């Protein structure tokens, strides 16, 4: 140990090379540093951001000279123990290195900033700015505060339970039942009770943040000032993200609104977490550390002694099961408290569900005559409709009936989708794009045909079918489309949604992007034209996902009771299907989530599937399917040969190819690991990791591109 650097510090850094190690690295330092301090450290020729970690309980003997740290990020208070516990837990649970979780949980800009740049950023705002912000504050103070609404009876009952009980709460409330108002008042009450308190409010998708942000700003900026409400999501610029993060870390921000990444925000005063639309799949990160922000939020709330509210009209089966009330066979009940808000605000009714049996329609019907008639009526009355199809592009494939050619992607086991607007064939998996061929590349036939329908085609077809229909103002009907293709440019989604809200659009065609969350006021009809596709999936969660999507979509219709009453039209949800008796549609007809959940949970219990069992996937990507599966088989053998702990409680399924087996010329395989015991699965995976790292380094697995573990996978 050198005299100049007498102290040893342990630093969590993120480097793929050390992911096998996973534990903090040791450095020398001139002064002792508090755990949680942000530092820059040398690694090889590079300099990286790191977090000083607690000393290991049994330090390894030091056999070589330690390198000194490169510097401390002055001016940022150390990350507190609660944040470090969260990071430690997430790393262990999701089988990642501590450094990866710790560093990716910090704003990306901190990684690249020099100490000098950071110091500039942390400087107090210049005086000019100060005056401006204080005038803004003054203006805000004069702005009429948005008062809390008088709660409905159901809202008031739920709110009282939230105040009285510890939770965690599952707020099961219909679409339009006023869940957001409950969140707002719970946040308000929490912040008023303690001047240090902070609230974290999570939403599944960036495109839902603007509306929510507006509602929270209107309510809280007049109370706590402009700086009190900040957002965190990937649609923000790096400097904006850093600014929000610093405000939360310093306790200045009282409310943090964000997507899944916000679960890792530094919140020293965390007192309340809200997870809106808790069932939504986007809470699960699908690359790198595959964490579930909802599940981490539950853990974090318990660890921090904060309250947590999960809200949904269609809860995940996991949360539904975890909130089961006690009964004679199950006197304990679940760990969560279930709260109900079945009614919509203002006596708005849920839409009537109309199922059209497509088997009884003329062949190749896209829109049944009855649906077109219903759409026509709505346009003529000046009401809006939403047509939902979860498939963008014009047609999913181009096809030659002479030689059988299909527009397959050369790099993936998938078709290239035909996009008519820009005459391209595009692969939605790898992005490979080509001009549409004039003639069949197989046989030269000039007649290659689009097969199947996407949103582009629906938009075109609807515009044609409704071309002679007039709105009350005698203008022709306007059809518009919102999907990932129309909203690539920044701000374009907001702009297109604003057009819908303003009444410019009569019929909106869209993917799931518009089916969720939005508070449309004038939509009275929603139609799912071809939902059956989703049921052909081999994934056991497919029915749950479809049911959710359709319930959410139905929830966009008839949200404004007064609007609906004034027109004496009943809101409707239309389903066109070849399988009208499927349990998903049967439950949907009755808006009966509890019945659907009971049926699905019964099946899951009988089959020993989540939430009655715990799962993980190990995936391998390689140049050939054979080597991908070979790696997985070797991993199984290694686990057995080494006699890993809990092998008797863990079931290893044989490796299989993924349903889309090849993407961008990489072959993908996976195997499922299942156990009735979560701790057993966790211990087993932890012990197994070292073997997987070791196997990866062996010459016979040279062609492996990557492997990964997905704990609690959402898609199988």
The residues of the shown chain that bind ligand ADP, judged by CB under 6 A, are 149-152, 155, 173, 175-181, 345, 519
List the one residue from 51, 293, 356, 427 that touches Zn ion (CB under 5 A). 427
- Report the helix count and the strand count for the chain, using DSSP H and E: 21, 28
Determine whether 592 is exposed, middle or buried from the number of CB atoms within 10 Å of its CB (0-12, 13-18, 19+): middle
Give the residue carrying structure tokens 């629906």.
458
519 binds, among Zn ion, ligand ADP, none (CB under 5 to 8 A by kind): ligand ADP
Q: Is 203:276 a contact under the CB 8 Å cutoff? A: yes
Least separation in angstroms between residue 323's CB and ligand ADP is 17
Q: Is 379:472 a contact under the CB 8 Å cutoff? A: no
* Gap between the Cα atoms of 695 and 703, Å rounded: 12
Beta-strand relationship, 666-675 and 650-652: antiparallel
Least separation in angstroms between residue 313's CB and ligand ADP is 7
Binding mask 607-646 for Zn ion (x = CB under 5 A): ----------------------------------------
**Residues comprising the chain, all counted:** 716
411 binds, among Zn ion, ligand ADP, none (CB under 5 to 8 A by kind): Zn ion
247 binds, among ligand ADP, Zn ion, none (CB under 5 to 8 A by kind): none
Least separation in angstroms between residue 176's CB and ligand ADP is 5
- In the region spanning residues 429 to 458, those forming contacts with Zn ion, defined by CB under 5 A, are 429-430, 432
Question: Based on CB atoms, which residue is closest to ligand ADP, 26 or 155?
Answer: 155
Question: Based on CB atoms, which residue is closest to ligand ADP, 122 or 347?
Answer: 347
DSSP 7-49: EEEEEEE--GGGTTT-SPEEEEESS---TT-EEEEEETTEEEE
Question: Based on CB atoms, which residue is closest to ligand ADP, 149 or 373?
Answer: 149
Residue in 53, 29, 167 with CA at minimum distance from that of residue 101? 53
Element (H, E) at 692: helix 678-696
* Gap between the Cα atoms of 178 and 340, Å rounded: 11
Given the rule CB under 5 A, which of 287-295, 419-427, 444-452, 642-650 is the region that contacts Zn ion?
A: 419-427
Q: Is 521 a binder of Zn ion (CB under 5 A)?
A: no
Question: Based on CB atoms, which residue is closest to Zn ion, 43 or 409?
Answer: 409
429 binds, among Zn ion, ligand ADP, none (CB under 5 to 8 A by kind): Zn ion
* Gap between the Cα atoms of 713 and 716, Å rounded: 7
Given the rule CB under 5 A, which of 75-83, 94-102, 405-413, 598-606 is the region that contacts Zn ion?
A: 405-413
* Gap between the Cα atoms of 368 and 225, Å rounded: 53
Question: Based on CB atoms, which residue is closest to ligand ADP, 151 or 613?
Answer: 151
Residue in 383, 666, 697 with CA at minimum distance from that of residue 522? 383
Question: Based on CB atoms, which residue is closest to ligand ADP, 179 or 307?
Answer: 179
Least separation in angstroms between residue 344's CB and ligand ADP is 8
Q: Is 105:85 a contact under the CB 8 Å cutoff? A: no
Question: Based on CB atoms, which residue is closest to Zn ion, 412 or 549?
Answer: 412
Least separation in angstroms between residue 432's CB and Zn ion is 5
| The two three-digit tokens of residue 22, written as one number | 């996973």
Given the rule CB under 5 A, which of 8-16, 111-119, 422-430, 444-452 is the region that contacts Zn ion?
A: 422-430
What secondary structure letter does DSSP report for 476? B
The DSSP bridge partners found for residue 26 are 10
The DSSP bridge partners found for residue 575 are 355, 528
Q: Is 257 a binder of Zn ion (CB under 5 A)?
A: no
Determine whether 92 is exposed, middle or buried from the number of CB atoms within 10 Å of its CB (0-12, 13-18, 19+): middle
Question: Based on CB atoms, which residue is closest to Zn ion, 14 or 419?
Answer: 419
Three-class secondary structure of residue 288 per DSSP: coil
412 binds, among ligand ADP, Zn ion, none (CB under 5 to 8 A by kind): Zn ion
Cis status, amide bond into 367, omega within 30 of 0: no
Given the rule CB under 5 A, which of 79-87, 268-276, 428-436, 587-595 is the region that contacts Zn ion?
A: 428-436
Residue in 179, 248, 174, 56 with CA at minimum distance from that of residue 558? 174
List the one residue from 409, 458, 584, 692 that touches Zn ion (CB under 5 A). 409
641 binds, among ligand ADP, Zn ion, none (CB under 5 to 8 A by kind): none
Question: Based on CB atoms, which residue is closest to ligand ADP, 172 or 596?
Answer: 172
Question: Based on CB atoms, which residue is closest to ligand ADP, 151 or 687?
Answer: 151
List the one residue from 200, 412, 480, 534 that touches Zn ion (CB under 5 A). 412
Residues lying near Zn ion in the complex (CB under 5 A): 409, 411-412, 427, 429-430, 432
């Amino acid at each position: 140990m050198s005299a100049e650097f007498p102290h040893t510090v342990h630093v969590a850094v993120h480097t793929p090379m050390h992911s096998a190690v996973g534990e903090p690295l040791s450095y020398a330092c001139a002064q002792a540093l508090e755990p949680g301090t942000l530092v820059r450290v040398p690694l090889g020729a590079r300099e990286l951001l790191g977090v000083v970690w607690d000393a290991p309980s049994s330090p390894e003997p030091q056999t070589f000279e330690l390198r000194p740290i490169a510097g401390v990020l002055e001016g940022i208070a150390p990350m507190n123990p609660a944040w470090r516990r969260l990071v430690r837990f997430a790393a262990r649970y999701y089988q990642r290195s501590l450094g990866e979780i710790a560093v990716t949980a910090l704003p990306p800009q901190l990684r690249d900033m020099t100490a000098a740049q950071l110091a500039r950023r942390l400087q107090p705002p210049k005086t000019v700015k100060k005056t401006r912000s204080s005038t803004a504050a003054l203006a805000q103070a004069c702005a009429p505060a948005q008062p809390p609404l008088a709660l409905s009876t159901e809202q008031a009952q739920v709110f009282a339970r939230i105040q009285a009980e510890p939770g965690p709460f599952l707020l099961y409330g219909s679409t339009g039942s006023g869940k957001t108002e409950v969140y707002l008042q719970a946040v308000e009450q929490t912040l008023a009770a303690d001047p240090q308190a902070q609230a974290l409010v999570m939403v599944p998708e960036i495109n839902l943040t603007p509306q929510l942000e507006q509602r929270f700003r209107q309510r809280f900026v007049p109370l706590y000032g402009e700086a009190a409400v900040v957002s965190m999501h990937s649609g923000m610029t790096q400097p904006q993200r850093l600014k929000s993060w610093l405000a939360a870390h310093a306790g200045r921000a009282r409310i943090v609104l964000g997507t899944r990444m916000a679960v890792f925000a530094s919140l020293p005063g965390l007192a309340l977490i809200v997870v809106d639309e808790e069932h939504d799949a986007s809470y699960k990160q699908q690359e790198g550390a595959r964490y579930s922000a909802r599940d981490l939020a539950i853990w974090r709330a318990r660890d921090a002694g904060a309250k947590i509210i999960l809200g949904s009209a269609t809860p995940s089966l996991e949360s539904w099961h975890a909130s089961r009330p006690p009964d004679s066979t199950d006197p304990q009940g679940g760990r969560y408290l279930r709260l109900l808000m079945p009614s919509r605000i203002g006596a708005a009714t849920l839409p009537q569900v109309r199922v059209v049996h497509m088997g009884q329609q003329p062949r190749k019907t896209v829109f049944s005559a009855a649906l077109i008639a219903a759409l026509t009526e709505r346009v003529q009355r000046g009401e809006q409709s939403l047509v939902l199809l979860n498939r963008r592009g014009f047609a999913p494939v181009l096809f030659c009936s002479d030689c059988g050619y299909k527009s397959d992607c050369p790099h993936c086991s998938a078709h290239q989708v035909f996009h008519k607007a820009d005459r391209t064939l595009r692969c939605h998996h790898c992005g490979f794009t080509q001009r549409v061929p004039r003639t069949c590349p197989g046989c030269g036939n000039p007649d290659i045909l689009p097969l199947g329908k996407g949103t582009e085609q629906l938009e075109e077809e609807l515009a044609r079918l409704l071309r002679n229909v007039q709105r009350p103002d005698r203008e022709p009907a306007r059809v518009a489309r919102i999907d990932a293709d129309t909203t690539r440019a920044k701000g374009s989604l907001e702009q297109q949604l604003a057009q819908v809200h303003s009444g410019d659009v009569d019929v909106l065609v869209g993917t799931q992007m518009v089916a969720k969350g939005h508070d449309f006021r004038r939509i009275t009809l929603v139609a799912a034209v071809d939902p059956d596709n989703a049921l052909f999936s081999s994934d056991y969660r497919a029915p749950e996902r479809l049911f959710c999507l359709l319930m959410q979509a139905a929830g966009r219709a008839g949200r404004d009771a007064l609007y609906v009453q004034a027109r004496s039209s009943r809101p409707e949800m239309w389903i066109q299907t070849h399988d009208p008796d499927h349990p998903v549609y049967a439950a949907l007809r009755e808006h009966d989530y509890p019945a659907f959940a009971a049926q699905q949970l019964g099946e899951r219990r009988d089959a020993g599937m989540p939430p009655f069992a715990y799962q993980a996937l190990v995936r391998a990507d390689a140049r050939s399917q054979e080597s991908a599966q070979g790696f997985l088989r070797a991993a199984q053998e290694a686990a057995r040969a080494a006699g890993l702990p809990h092998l008797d409680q863990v079931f290893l399924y044989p490796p299989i190819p993924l349903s889309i087996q090849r993407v961008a010329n990489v072959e993908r395989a996976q195997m499922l690991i299942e156990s009735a015991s979560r701790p057993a699965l966790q211990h087993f995976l932890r012990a197994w990791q070292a073997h997987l790292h070791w196997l990866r380094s062996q010459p016979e697995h040279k062609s492996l591109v990557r492997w990964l573990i997905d704990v609690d996978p959402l898609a199988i």
